[in-house]
Structure 1
Amino acid sequence: MSSAAEQEAVAEERATGDGRPVAAANGARRRTPGVPVWPGAPTPLGARFRVGPDGVAGTNFALWAGGAEAVELCLFDGRGPDSKETRAPLTELTHEIWHGFVPGVMPGQRYGFRVHGRWDPWTGARWNPAKLLLDPYARAVDGDFRLPPEVYGHVRDWPQQQVADTVRDDRDSAPYVPKGVVVHDDAPDDEWTDDRRPKTPWADSVIYELHVRGFTKLHPGIPPELRGTYAGLAHPAAIEHLVKLGVTAVELLPVHQFAHEDHLLRRGLRNYWGYNSIGYFAPHAGYAASGTTGQQVGEFKDMVRALHAAGIEVILDVVYNHTAEAGELGPTLSLKGIDNRGYYRLQSDARRYADYTGCGNTLHVVQPQVLRLITDSLRYWVTEMGVDGFRFDLAAALARSMHDVDMLSPFLAVIAQDPVLRRVKLIAEPWDVGSGGYQVGAFPPLWTEWNDRYRNAVRDFWRHALPDVREMGYRLSGSSDLYAWGGRRPYASVNFVTAHDGFTLRDLVSYERKHNEANGEGNRDGTDDNRSWNGGAEGESEDERVRALRRRQLRNLLTTLLLSTGVPMLVAGDELGRTQRGNNNAYCQDNEIGWLDWSLLEDPCWRALFEMTSRLIALRHRHPVLRRRAFFSGRAHSADGLRDLAWFTARGAEMTERDWYAPAATLGMYLSGRDIPGRDERGAPIVDDSFLAVLHAGDRPVSFVLPGPPWAERYEVVVDTSREEQARPPGVTHRAGEEITVPARSVLLLKVG
């Protein structure tokens, strides 16, 4: 049956006794005439409150809807499902932007759009005016997303599943979807004149990935009414922990307004991580303590100010690769109903979506209006919300031109020339799930990248699974094999052992298999490639030998991370021994599994881990040789033959090519503090202490000969991970050439004298 004929048959089958489609009158009954709409302006997009030169206050509404036939502005006078809806047509059309100024519409007004056009899914056209649409530029969102059948543009329960998404649903979705909120962008308290952005250089950065809700939900020092919110993260008790730890930046899991997936709601779960964005300008309303009719904007800004005052930058994890509207069987919430073909990548069969994200859809970033949406959003969060940088989820999907990943793509080109965005911190998750999507090391200068090859190498080394030490050598010294091109620096590598996605650090040394049963997916979700080792028992153990070994492995992993060249990233709670009970995909666990358990600090063992982590970060801040701004050369810089980087075997001899290819559990790395590239604040050459790090992953102690002159005359032990107590350095000294015993599975850091 042809598309036109099929739709005609559907309309006849769903007609009421008087020949009208079912529920066609639902929206019509809600019309209220008489709203004055002046021509207004096509820019800026979204809803912008202003007072004109004639003293008339109101709001200008502007919506890009390229292929639409008509656009209606919908105003709501209440917050419940029975709130009165007033519709007003936007009749002005400039460069595909529908716009109008409505006098008397003030901040706090709730609104949405209805967009009219053809319903022809076979060509990618999915306009349906029965669906209330969220403004893509809404500065605030009020209400939560529910997903009853009325929210879908197609008839979700149509009996013929193979054509279900082609049958239009004419029921009104307004009672079931949240609304945009008009915000006073130019309010006096929005000025940033009193804010002092830390502007920490990349090489000096230590990133701390955290979830706004999970980090604060159980914190005993935060008032109960503020836990789980932006205000909770701004509270002195929360900031005190960050300052004591010594991190320079927090990387917040998504705070853009997001929605929950249908399959989670059906199981009584919710999207916890937030990688399901639907509003790229709106702080997620669920994290606001002060209210959701615009108050969340001010609360977010206050949080940023508080973190800045403590010297901590704010980096947002942003999800511009896909939206919460999923694929052809997903709901119609915003972009799908505004212009499906204009916003999403479609297959040659335009009824289907191109999916490079694994989430059902992919934003078509090559399209000018999509690129504008993303860059407008990024600039807004920098200039008006005060943030300092972004981590781009599945960034390879944003770098695709037609189909292939292209490092000259419009998205990367626009970022590189933008006077605002090129000055902030930019972190790529350099892969997506499409063909050719793995791009670690390929992003252009200006970008840093999550380095999963660092993660894999460090995990494998400490579980004694590397065939040789070549990979470990590259990762410890800044991954020059990946980043030493195009003027890139070692800080192009964001080093991490764990991230939100996967095991926590404690679970990494406690579980060899994922335990995701609580997710309700039969333990099929989450990766099976964990590269973990449980120390001899799966899960929590009462055996003190196993527990002590695991704590030592935690110290080894954290020490390795914080001594490596590049930018270290910690995950909130790893410094406290946080566990998710073996769940390596806790994206839907908005409960004690996903929240940080602050009572761990009351346990002396976990308190000691926190103190060790803090001391390692302080050591890193104190010594520029541990956070170099340029790659090591490996060449001698003085007459005595001393090089900036050297590698040693346990025999105390410099490693040969054969040594790099041989299986080994022990690696010595010498870092010279002489003539470090760059200048200090006074313009003088940077001179620092030199260090020898000895990493031993074997299960038995090993004898290690300390290199003699010119490398050193003596060595002082400053870190020994075999010791439970790490609050103070051991203070043990050794002569050069001395043979020392390195305990099983441990790291020694020795300062050269």
Structure 2
Amino acid sequence: MSYSFSELDFMKPELGAEFTGEGTHFAVFSAHAEQMELCLFSEDGKEETARLPLPKREGDIWSGYIAGLKPGTIYGYRAHGPYEPKAGHRFNPNKLLLDPYAKQIVGEIQWDDALYGYRIGDPAEDLSFDERDSAPFMVKGVVQDPDFDWAGDAAIRRPWTETIIYEAHVRGMTMTHPGVPEELRGTFMGMASDPIIEHLVDLGISAIELLPIQYFPDDRYLLEKNLRNYWGYQTLGFFAPQPRFLSGRAVTEFKAMVKRFHAAGIEVIMDVVYNHTAEGSERGPTLSFRGLDNLSYYRLSPDDLRHSYDTTGTGNTVNIAHPMVLRMVLDSLRYWVGVMHVDGFRFDLASTLGRTRHIEFDRDGTFFDAIRQDPILSGVKLIAEPWDVGDGGYQVGGFPYPFREWNDKYRDDVRRFWKGDGGLVSGLATRLTGSAPQFNHSDRGVTSSINLLSAHDGFTLMDTVSYDGKHNEANGEDNRDGHSDNHSHNMGAEGPTDDQTIRAARDRRRRNMIATLMLSQGVPMLLGGDELGNSQNGNNNAYCQDNEIGWTDWSGLDDPFLNFCKGAIAFRRSHPALRQERFLTGDPAEDGTVDIAWYKPDGAFMDDGAWKDANLRTLGLFLSKPANGEGPDQLVIVVNAGGDCQVKLPEVNGIKAWKRVLDTGAGEDAFAEHPTEGPTTVYGASVAVFDPVG
């Protein structure tokens, strides 16, 4: 069937391919193109069946409407314009370009030199011009029908104080679970299967944070090493779900997954990568943005427009300061909330999104202002990874409300304290109470801190207590990649061991760290698999390991540690004192009661000398919060990274008698209640928590 553009003077405000019910409207942005062609393809995407110049240009938006063109149509673009790399322009109509707004993407990139705008191997390098057609090797967009039965689905909007986040990978979470049907493993429908949802609900999780699920290709250099872009931090399609996560071809599988999570009371947070794309540096391929308008979409070196300006470590940086690029990012976010019903976002290398036209980070910059004024986006969960690799990129605590932030300072101080490093009681106290030095400003609340012990990037919790050094040999980079400063300790043997003493010590340290996480003010995030004792064999950068190294090992379902994690999460949920909104002050109220106080083992208040004592390993913390008119919720927490210690529990707020309700040194009896009288022994290397008696 042949198609042509309608002569109607008709333009929709949306960019991308929008099915109207009677035809499809196409619109794409380019400020510097001289002509834009829409290319249509056969049902299998292999044959180009039409090449139609977009007839209308208004401002920098090229558009056209084709009556009768239906969902399922496969398409791409070709952009005509100057090929002048030194001026920032890299137009090449021989290269088929993916629509930045494509809602579905089909095919896989078949890496070939024809995908590059210049001739690979030419002495002129990227100043040369390649005339080969890239269409046979390119992925394409698919026109979508947005209809889906969302009946019964509603946004959860759970308060941050009630939130427990679980970071997971769609494939990694499902590939080896014995209860997930084999044909659904590695897919959205596998994530939505009963065994996965039941596990999360039983564990006590309230929000799942998915590693990137927007379309990303496999890097050429990884495929050449028989590896894969497993994590997905190389986005090319900001509106399309990753095809490899579909069990069929329908993107509605993602919607079905979200609906199932919502029915179980679990919010869905997406890890999104708007700071860079999969096209790499100026020597990378021409797949979409570079060919549509390189000068607009990317930051280029102010000294030489031929070269990319990179604050991300990936070769390029998205030019979020350009209004139409900013619009694309905002349109993408609104699409995933409004059409796909997700509940929030975690922004990879978010400092890049706050960089101005002059490259500096600005917490009052355009991107943040746009989010804050948006009636849709300002109401969802927003989490920043508060750093990038550029100058001034480390910005923990520097983001504005309503953003929350990954807190690597929390991770490092907790790991170091339990590893036995000296002089950490002050640092741990700061982390237990929400990291005030970073976040207690600009009227930000204590939930600004996303507390984590581990994440996809770095050691798992099990590897933190099992390895002194990283073991990334499988990545093919001679173990040079990944962090070298992990604050880990193998407890006496590198990797797995049959030594029962070492295994018991590792189990206790893991319990200590999970207990610390769940007893801390802020928002806890658990790395998927940590509750199961999942190991990556010491690999702390498994970005390319789509195999047993990167996948979750479910053999720990019968491990007592899983029950401890369930108990720790339930304990947090049952105690409002652990889930406060504002930073605590310790100032006495009119009746003389306090909301927080710190104690030495002898029951005396912590003083300057104690806070500076590099040999002190034991610290007591009192917390109090009114609990819905039922009297205050009050706790004493004792963390002890030293040997067995006699602790005198305080008399505070009129409380004189306490009972032990959590003890990580008690193994499987960690949550048994034990009344105490007088000084009590807190086991070495343990956490103990006490409730008032009566």
* TM beyond 0.5: yes
Counterpart residue identity of residue 265, structure 1 = L
- List, as ranges, runs of 4+ consecutive aligned residues in structure 1 with deviation greater than 6 Å: none
In structure 1, the partner of 2:166 is: 208
Matches within 5 A, 1:55-454: 57-79=22-44, 81=46, 83-158=47-122, 160=123, 163-185=124-146, 187=147, 190-291=148-249, 295-296=250-251, 298-348=252-302, 349-401=304-356, 402-454=358-410
d(CA) in 2 for partners of 1:140, 1:450: 30
Matches within 5 A, 1:587-666: 587-602=543-558, 606=559, 608-639=560-591, 641-663=592-614, 664-666=616-618
Residue 659 of structure 2 corresponds to residue 716 of structure 1: yes
Given that residues 5 and 55 in structure 2 are in contact (C-alpha distance below 8 angstroms), is that contact kept between their aligned partners in structure 1?
Answer: no
Aligned CA distance change for structure 1 residues 468 and 304 (closer, same or farther; 3 Å) = closer
Residue 40 (structure 1) shift: 4.0
Residue 460 (structure 1) shift: 0.8
Residue 191 (structure 1) shift: 4.7
Find the residue that maps to 1:569 and give its secondary structure. Answer: strand
Aligned CA RMSD, in angstroms, stands at: 1.5
Q: TM-score, normalised by structure 1?
A: 0.90
d(CA) in 1 for partners of 2:589, 2:334: 44
d(CA) in 1 for partners of 2:647, 2:285: 63
Task: Provide, for residues 401-441 of structure 1, a one-character-per-residue CA deviation record: whole Å limited to 9, x for no partner.
Answer: 02100112110110010111111111111111000011111
Residue 682 of structure 2 corresponds to residue 731 of structure 1: no
Task: Provide, for residues 24-68 of structure 1, a one-character-per-residue CA deviation record: whole Å limited to 9, x for no partner.
Answer: xxxxxxxx98634445415210001113xxxxx211000011100
Residue 490 of structure 2 corresponds to residue 529 of structure 1: no
Structure 2: stretches of 5+ with no match in the other structure: none
Find the residue that maps to 1:71 and give its secondary structure. Answer: strand
Given that residues 211 and 270 in structure 2 are in contact (C-alpha distance below 8 angstroms), is that contact kept between their aligned partners in structure 1?
Answer: yes
d(CA) in 1 for partners of 2:321, 2:562: 45
d(CA) in 2 for partners of 1:429, 1:594: 21
Among 48, 58, 61, the residue aligned to 2:18: 48
d(CA) in 2 for partners of 1:688, 1:571: 32
Counterpart residue identity of residue 66, structure 2 = V
d(CA) in 2 for partners of 1:622, 1:703: 28
Counterpart residue identity of residue 480, structure 2 = R
Find the residue that maps to 1:723 and give its secondary structure. Answer: helix
Find the residue that maps to 2:308 and give its secondary structure. Answer: coil
Counterpart residue identity of residue 613, structure 1 = C
Given that residues 236 and 277 in structure 2 are in contact (C-alpha distance below 8 angstroms), is that contact kept between their aligned partners in structure 1?
Answer: yes
Find the residue that maps to 1:690 and give its secondary structure. Answer: strand
Residue 362 (structure 1) shift: 0.5
d(CA) in 2 for partners of 1:356, 1:536: 40
Task: Provide, for residues 616-642 of structure 1, a one-character-per-residue CA deviation record: whole Å limited to 9, x for no partner.
Answer: 111111111110111111111253x43
Task: Provide, for residues 85-144 of structure 1, a one-character-per-residue CA deviation record: whole Å limited to 9, x for no partner.
Answer: 321111210111110011222111110000011111111100001110000000000111
Residue 145 (structure 1) shift: 1.9
Q: TM-score, normalised by structure 2?
A: 0.97
Task: Provide, for residues 691-747 of structure 1, a one-character-per-residue CA deviation record: whole Å limited to 9, x for no partner.
Answer: 11111112x212222223556322211111112214x62221102xx2222212111
Given that residues 334 and 377 in structure 2 are in contact (C-alpha distance below 8 angstroms), is that contact kept between their aligned partners in structure 1?
Answer: yes
d(CA) in 1 for partners of 2:651, 2:323: 62
In structure 1, the partner of 2:4 is: 35
Residue 84 (structure 1) shift: 3.7
In structure 2, the partner of 1:671 is: 623
Of stretches 349-358 and 480-489 in structure 1, the one that deviates more from structure 2 is 480-489
Matches within 5 A, 1:467-546: 467-546=423-502
Residue 609 (structure 1) shift: 1.0
Find the residue that maps to 1:277 and give its secondary structure. Answer: coil
Identity among equivalent pairs (%): 47
Counterpart residue identity of residue 365, structure 1 = I
d(CA) in 2 for partners of 1:175, 1:520: 30
d(CA) in 1 for partners of 2:659, 2:609: 30
In structure 2, the partner of 1:25 is: none
Residue 261 (structure 1) shift: 1.5
d(CA) in 2 for partners of 1:146, 1:37: 34
Aligned CA distance change for structure 1 residues 686 and 530 (closer, same or farther; 3 Å) = farther
d(CA) in 2 for partners of 1:467, 1:369: 50
Find the residue that maps to 1:351 and give its secondary structure. Answer: strand
Residue 179 (structure 1) shift: 0.5
Given that residues 623 and 688 in structure 1 are in contact (C-alpha distance below 8 angstroms), is that contact kept between their aligned partners in structure 2?
Answer: no
Bigger CA radius of gyration: 1
Structure 1: stretches of 5+ with no match in the other structure: 1-31, 52-56
Counterpart residue identity of residue 741, structure 1 = T
d(CA) in 2 for partners of 1:173, 1:507: 44
